[in-house]
Chain A
Amino acid sequence: MDLNEAQGAIVRLMQDANAQFHKVPGSAIVLRYIKSSYQHDPVRSAIELLLFLFAIRYLLAPSYSVQRERVKLTEEEIDELVEDWTPEPLVGAPTAFEELENEKRPVLVGPTGPKSKLSNGRTVTNLASYNFYNFVANELLKEKAIQTLRTYGVGPCGPPGFYGTQDVHMKTEADVAAHLGTAACIIYAQSFSTISSVIPSFSKRGDIIVADRAVNYAIRKGIQISRSTVRWFEHNDMQDLERVLKKVVSEQAKKPLTRRFIVTEGLFENMGDVVDLPKLIELKLKYKFRLILDETWSYGVLGRTGRGVTEAQNVDATNVDMIIGSLSGPLCAAGGFCAGTEEVVEHQRISSASYTYSAALPALLSTTASETIALLQEQPEILTALRENIKTMRAQLDPRSDWVKCTSALDNPIMLLVLKPEVIASKSLSPADQNQVLQDVVDECLANNILITRLKQMPAPLGVPERNHGWQPQPALKVCVTSGLTKKETEKAGTVIRHAITKVVARRK
């Protein structure tokens, strides 16, 4: 009785379910599919069923994160941590040496020039500015700049790709390209950020940069931003460069092709010496690397008309893939440039951060750059005059001083004077001691109305122990020769510097 009832209920339920199922749209298709799918092939059906069940299982599985579990903190713990936290200063507290340096720092009043007026009323011979050709005092340039200012206003107030480009910028680009003999050129608004933006616009994570150990701070920043793999070679050692290139090529032989670059400087900011460009070109062609050459300190300085290392060492500028130079300093304008092929330049217009995101160069500086480049080309005697002064200054210092030697190249107006190794050894001077001694020399020179400066250490990253700071230049005096002084004045200044060095270093025990 009960059983019958139950059976009847079940049958009814089944019939209802069946009827309901048939009402569902598409049920006939599913039924037909299931009926026809068996086909006397149990293995195949089993695979299909298995796959179906796997899909069901996957769909029903709860999602989970593969991220590392974060530590859960209570409100009190968070408050406690916030209470405990003391912010690190953005800039570390000045050291005793830096305090002293700040105290004695000379302050210029009025325009800079070969003879500058200090805030204490004295007039000094300025050998601490990059005013090599004394274009600062050139009335013609000043007149042109004022004219441009009246026409164009102060700044374009927009990035080059966004209403910032003016006809004067395009003219300056053409002028630089024509001067160097490259196909194209791009102008940046700031010299420091030119190379640190050019490198990451070409070299990315996974690409390889082979760089000189002594490259300047801007290049280091560029390499860091680019996230590329970097290999260093010994400073200006072409054999070591070849060894590194060989190693990179053999390591990369079986891997997907990556971009490879050699990054070095024309005149080294930290050493003052010059690169061996013909050998470098030979190696880059042999091992199929691209060459990024930072001519920040050599453009406008080396060569018969100031074209830089390429002119001085008789290398066609088109052999260098990217030439980076500066329009500030000796050229009396501002900003930097990168010259290369049409493709190299056009690539940067959209993908080089400091070009795309920074306001364009003020028009008056752009015209000034064009003017000074024209001056250098039309009157190579400007450069010869400077070289005469360099020779005069060098004669007073390098072979004649018992205490220092000049690491700079013969044509480099920035003369870096380091203490001779035997002096350092006999007096056992640490780098900090050397800085102290050289600062004393700078002070002594200033007392004799000659303004020179020291080569500054590269800023150390915060929170990194001193032994991990990496390569640092040897402490050096920096004497910037200018053609704004006569030969006689330069000679006199050189003598003063030599005597100051002798006085300070000999006194030091």
Chain B
Amino acid sequence: MPFDDKEARRRRSSSLVYTEPPESLEQLSDQSALPNLNAQWVNAKGAWVIHFVLIVLAKILFDIIPGVSQETSWTLTNISYMFGSYLMFHYVRGVPFDFNAGAYDNLNMWEQIDNGDQYTPAKKFLLSVPIALFLISTHYTHYDLTYFIINTMATIAVIIPKLPAFHRIRIGIFSGPPDDS
């Protein structure tokens, strides 16, 4: 019984990789008590446009800082976007509001989007934006190897956790798996 409370959090202390187990029945009913407003907005059109707006604003911001070259400015734009999106979609867990009695506390926002369904339009969009931004910024950094390595690493860091194979996977190097008894 995957819905069993005992199975809801199982221990695998020997392993670095930990799969977030399925929710218990109580958690599922709390999750469906209200629509998940924390994840729903990514499907809105304005939410797609705001990515481009923010990227352009960041670029302008880095351009007006004196002494910053075009290459550095593009790289800064790229890594700040990647950092922001990693923080938002993959690092922070749960819902900031008290809609579901904390039933989403173990899931990050990427896993909450569309109830965890894969290859949905919103997820396709959110994956293609960093790739496009990466290709553009390598182009405008004139293929300088240092900038290229920095940009690639930043991009890879946001793309890997978006892969369907990494759904509900937690990698703990410093912290063990959560144990709950």
Which residues on A are within 8 Å of B, measured CB to CB? 33, 36-37, 39, 41, 44, 47-48, 51-52, 54-55, 58-59, 61-67, 204-206, 227, 229, 254-255, 351
Contact = CB atoms under 8 A, between A and B. Distances in A.
A61 B119 contact: yes
Interface string B118-129: 111100100110
A23 to B, nearest CB: 23
B127 A37 contact: no
Contact of A205 (B103, B121, B145, B148): B103
Interface in B74-104: 98, 101-103
Given A63-B117, A64-B118, A64-B119, A55 B101 contact: no
A370 B116 CA distance: 55
A51 B135 contact: yes
A44 B155 CA distance: 14
Contacts of B102: 204-206, 227
B116 A66 contact: yes
Interface string B129-157: 00110110011000101001000100100
B117 A64 contact: yes
A317 B26 CA distance: 37
Contacts of A55: 127-128, 131-132
A291 to B, nearest CB: 23
B69 interface: no
A257 B152 CA distance: 35
A64 to B, nearest CB: 6
* B interface residue count range (under 10 / 10 to 19 / 20 to 34 / 35 or more): 20 to 34
B120 A63 contact: yes
18 contacts: A37-B143, A41-B143, A44-B143, A48-B138, A51-B135, A55-B127, A58-B119, A58-B124, A61-B119, A62-B119, A63-B117, A63-B120, A66-B116, A66-B117, A66-B167, A205-B101, A206-B102, A229-B180
B30 interface: yes
A36 B139 contact: yes
Among B105, B128, B138, B143, the most chain A Cβ lie within 10 Å of the Cβ of B143
Contacts of A351: 98
A227 B131 contact: no
A33 B127 CA distance: 21
A65 B116 CA distance: 7
A55 B134 CA distance: 12
B19 interface: no
Contacts of B128: 55, 58-59
Given A48-B138, A67-B115, A205-B102, 7 more contacts: A37-B139, A58-B124, A58-B128, A59-B124, A64-B119, A67-B117, A205-B103
Contacts of B118: 61, 63-64, 66
Contacts of B105: 205-206
Contacts of A255: 178
Contact of A48 (B101, B116, B135): B135
Contacts of B119: 58, 61-64
Interface string B146-175: 001000100100000000000100000001
A44 B139 CA distance: 11
Interface of B: 26, 30, 98, 101-103, 105, 115-121, 124, 127-128, 131-132, 134-135, 138-139, 143, 145, 148, 152, 155, 167, 175, 178, 180
Contacts of A48: 135, 138
4 shortest interchain CB distances as A-B pairs: A205-B102, A63-B119, A55-B131, A66-B116
A32 to B, nearest CB: 9
B30 to A, nearest CB: 7
B174 to A, nearest CB: 10
Nearest to B104: A205
A154 B56 CA distance: 62
Contacts of A47: 152
Among A41, A47, A63, A351, the most chain B Cβ lie within 10 Å of the Cβ of A63
A451 B145 CA distance: 93
Contacts of A33: 139
Contacts of B167: 66
A67 B120 contact: no
B110 to A, nearest CB: 12
Given A33-B139, A47-B152, A63-B117, A227 B101 contact: yes
A51 B148 contact: no
A317 B18 CA distance: 46
A351 B101 CA distance: 12
Nearest to A228: B102
A211 B132 CA distance: 55
B143 A52 contact: no
A54 B119 CA distance: 13
Contacts of B148: 44
Contacts of B98: 204, 351
Nearest to B163: A58
Contacts of B135: 48, 51-52
Contacts of B145: 44
A299 to B, nearest CB: 29
Contacts of A227: 26, 30, 101-102
Contacts of A44: 138, 143, 145, 148
B7 to A, nearest CB: 14
A83 B77 CA distance: 63
B101 A67 contact: no
B137 to A, nearest CB: 11
B143 A51 contact: no
Nearest to A224: B26
Contacts of B132: 55
Contact of A67 (B116, B131, B143, B180): B116
A58 B103 CA distance: 30
Contacts of B30: 205, 227
